[in-house]
Chain A
Amino acid sequence: MDFSLSEEQTLLKDSLERFIQNDYDFDTRRKVMAGEEGFSRENWKQFAELGWLAVPFAEEDGGIGGGAIELMIVMEQLGRGLVVEPYLATVILAGGALKYAGNEAQKGAYLGAIIEGSKMGALAFAEPQSRFNLADVATTATADGDGYVLSGHKAVVLGGPSADFFVVSARTSGGPRDADGITLFLVDGDAAGLSRRDYPTVDGLRASEVTLDGVKVGADAVLGTVGGGHAVLEQVIDEATLAVGAEAVGGMEVCYKDTVEYSKQRVQFGQPIGKFQVLQHRMVDMFMEYEQAKSMMYLAAMRLDEGYGAVAKKAVSGFKVQVGKSGRFVGQQAVQLHGGMGMTEELNIGHYFKRLTMIDTTFGNVDFHLKRYGAV
């Protein structure tokens, strides 16, 4: 049993920490978000140069062959910095689907471009009626000659506005919520019949409603096997769940530490508010929630690296349950203990609170993962 990082993992963590520390302070983030794209292409280039975009990909595909633990390291740090660049959307979601289901030609066409930072992608899996059920796919893919015609509405596609390509789940056979019969397709962002309505999200990201209206794709657009998309989606989303959970753990760390610091500075009734026992215990609770979430994060990452199966799925769901509960508590109490300041746009705390709140409903909330944990 060993909870320590290897030398390479420590180097990776250090490089992210340095970036967050030196190049991603809260004002810089604010400026980046105010830009048209809502993130910085310059930063993205730097991510590529630092090798972060290569983390989860195999060495033969130009990656560095990192696993779940490496993803966890990256996302925890990005969470500490509340980084808005679409790492999750491009590398983990779209990149993940390519990694697990892409053939040589597809990997060749996309993975290299993702790794060097020249292409961005998004995974269009959710639909207005689907909630967190990955098998609830109403978008249709109808055979048309050698290829397919796609039609449907994909909801809240993270990273949609900047996506050069989409990985789209569509139904090629089966009933409305059958796991079988879902196929993944690679669709170009400028494909005829694809339209997007782009918008910012409340937690500082960008997303799109993507409408597919008779989008024609060739047979080479099929990612993985026809009808076998669900298993790929599930694995990609589990990795992404670990990723947003790790992001939340990073956010919680900042929340509890900043709150402790603030409570030492803020004086009311003639003493720092951190001297009040009721607040001391609250901060102890925040700290414990953070530590519990971190434990479950380690478990989920290690289980995923042992191999994808029931044990890993259960660990991921357990982690997400813990993150949902801990993240809410820590985020809400960080705002509460900062008082009016915690409510402002100006201070970072409220922004962590928003992100933590939204992470709870990303890839399944507490109810969803409790049920899954019990069922696996």
Chain B
Amino acid sequence: MDLALTDADLAFQAEVREFINTYWPEDVRRARATSSRFEESRGHSPEVRRWIDALNERGWAVPNWPQEWGGTDWNPTQKYIWDKETAKAECPQLSAFGARMLAPVLYTWGTDAQKNEFLPKIREERMIWCQGYSEPGAGSDLAGLATRAVREGDEYVVNGTKLWTSGAHVADWMFCLVRTESGAKKQEGISFLLIDMKTPGITVNPVYILGGIHSVNEVELKDVRVPVENLVGEENKGWTYAKGLLTHERTGIAGVARSEVQLARLKRIAQETGMDGGSLWDDPAFRTRVTELEVDLEALSVTELRVLAQVAQGGAPGPESSILKIRGTEIGQAIAMMTIEAFGYYGMPYPEQTLIDNEGPIGNPYVMPTMKGMLYGRASSIFGGSNEIQKNIISKAVLGL
């Protein structure tokens, strides 16, 4: 047991910081953090594009991938340093659906053709993916999905409806769970298909969530023809792949580093918010509550390190990753709520984007992004397997109940 960084680690940290300051400098950071534009849009701003290109040039775009596909040879400490530093500077990340979720499935179970076709494009963020999992009747009970794929010659014909599909309106491709056989057990008979969003028969309908945010969609699939070479792994084994992928998703959702940034911001906002001639940060009641969150977050951060260390010694994160998902989303939501509380009355204004563009923000410039993040963040304890489902996983897989 040892937490200290070696000289080599410190040198690496300095290298990372320099890279970040060059390609994701302070002014760009602030402009992005105070932007009230939340919707996912097609393409990237020039600043984000530059950052992603720089990552690829340096070979740092996908540190966790196998080296043959562009991963790094970093040890766990270096990966930790990278995650911390990029989170602290709020560096843009590659779209998670491709880089964090689909890629591990592809480099583990995909064909050579699939790897060659998709992995480089995901790494360079030239192909955006969405995740076709949930359906109107299959939320927490994901294995109850009803979208069917029927094999006809060299194609699957897919029919069904996917719901809550994040970013489907900007995605080039969708990885999708479909039912290929009505087996005895609902988890059997599910296959993992890659679908080009330009295929005829796909309709994407927006679902606006709280705050008028367009992030999720309903995706209708009507006689969508998918070449059989877009099947990942074996037919009817899709559930196994999807489960592996969900543990990765959960680990990502914990968002410890993101919460640390938000907590630091909350403190700054409290210091800048007036109260009785001083600042809100002088208020012991408020300060105590923020400090409680800080301790919660620290505990989670160490728990995450333990999970990561375990992963580094071989294999995917275990069911313990559910702890990260549950506590991570609870803490993230609590920080967002406290930030809204810190704004006091100024948490209320929710002006049209054009008004902000023309006349600037109302109150603190972080209000709109915080509010949108708070509203959107209520979904974090629902998606990726709701927190109730995570507790079922822990009670069954860890406690053996």
Footprint of B on A, CB under 8 Å?
126, 128-133, 136, 155-156, 176-177, 197, 199-203, 205, 207, 209, 267-269, 273, 276, 278-279, 328, 332, 335-336, 339-340, 342-346, 350-351, 353-354, 357-358, 360-362, 365, 367, 370-371
Contacts and interface: CB of A to CB of B under 8 A. Distances in A.
B371 interface: yes
Contacts of B25: none
A187 to B, nearest CB: 20
A361 B351 contact: no
B111 interface: no
B60 interface: no
B348 interface: yes
19 contacts: A128-B274, A132-B344, A136-B274, A155-B346, A156-B363, A199-B350, A199-B362, A209-B362, A269-B140, A339-B139, A339-B382, A342-B378, A344-B208, A346-B208, A350-B209, A361-B340, A361-B344, A365-B341, A370-B285
A202 B386 contact: no
Interface string B270-295: 00011111001001011001000000
Contact of A131 (B164, B210, B273, B375): B273
Interface string B368-401: 0001000100110111001110010000000000
B382 A343 contact: yes
A332 B334 CA distance: 11
Contact of B286 (A128, A203, A367): A367
Nearest to A331: B378
Nearest to A371: B285
A345 B212 contact: yes
A175 to B, nearest CB: 9
A371 B382 CA distance: 35
Given A197-B359, A197-B362, A202-B211, A156 B345 contact: yes
Given A131-B280, A344-B208, A200 B350 contact: yes
Please give me the 7 A-B residue pairs with the lowest Cβ-Cβ distance, nearest first: A129-B274, A202-B350, A268-B141, A156-B345, A199-B351, A367-B285, A201-B348
Interface string B194-219: 00000000000001111110001000
Given A136-B277, A203-B348, A340-B383, 7 more contacts: A126-B345, A202-B211, A332-B333, A336-B382, A361-B341, A367-B285, A367-B289
Contact of B210 (A128, A279, A353, A358): A353
B337 interface: yes
A133 B144 CA distance: 54
B349 interface: yes
A340 B348 contact: no
A343 B210 contact: yes
B31 interface: no
B8 interface: no
Contacts of A336: 378, 381-382, 386-387
Nearest to A340: B164
B171 interface: no
B355 interface: yes
A319 B362 CA distance: 30
A361 to B, nearest CB: 6
B163 interface: yes
Nearest to A175: B277
B347 interface: yes
B134 interface: yes
A334 B139 CA distance: 16
A128 B343 CA distance: 10
Contacts of B134: 340
Contacts of B347: 202, 358, 361
Given A278-B388, A339-B139, A344 B345 contact: no
Contact of B209 (A131, A155, A279, A344): A344
Nearest to B392: A278
B348 A207 contact: yes
Contacts of A197: 359, 362
B340 A340 contact: no
A212 B1 CA distance: 63
B274 A130 contact: yes
A136 B346 contact: no
A358 B371 CA distance: 11
Contact of B340 (A209, A342, A357): A357
A245 B341 CA distance: 17
Nearest to A328: B337
A156 B349 contact: yes
Contacts of A335: 378
A362 B391 CA distance: 35
B391 A278 contact: yes
Given A345-B210, A345-B212, A353-B378, A202 B371 contact: yes
Nearest to A354: B210
Contacts of B386: 336, 339
Contact of A202 (B140, B348, B359): B348
Nearest to B209: A343
B130 to A, nearest CB: 15
B370 to A, nearest CB: 11
Given A202-B371, A268-B144, A332 B378 contact: yes
Scoring B283, B343, B348 by chain A CB atoms within 10 A of each residue's CB, the highest score goes to B348
A205 B289 CA distance: 29
Contacts of A371: 285
Given A269-B141, A339-B140, A370-B285, A357 B337 contact: yes
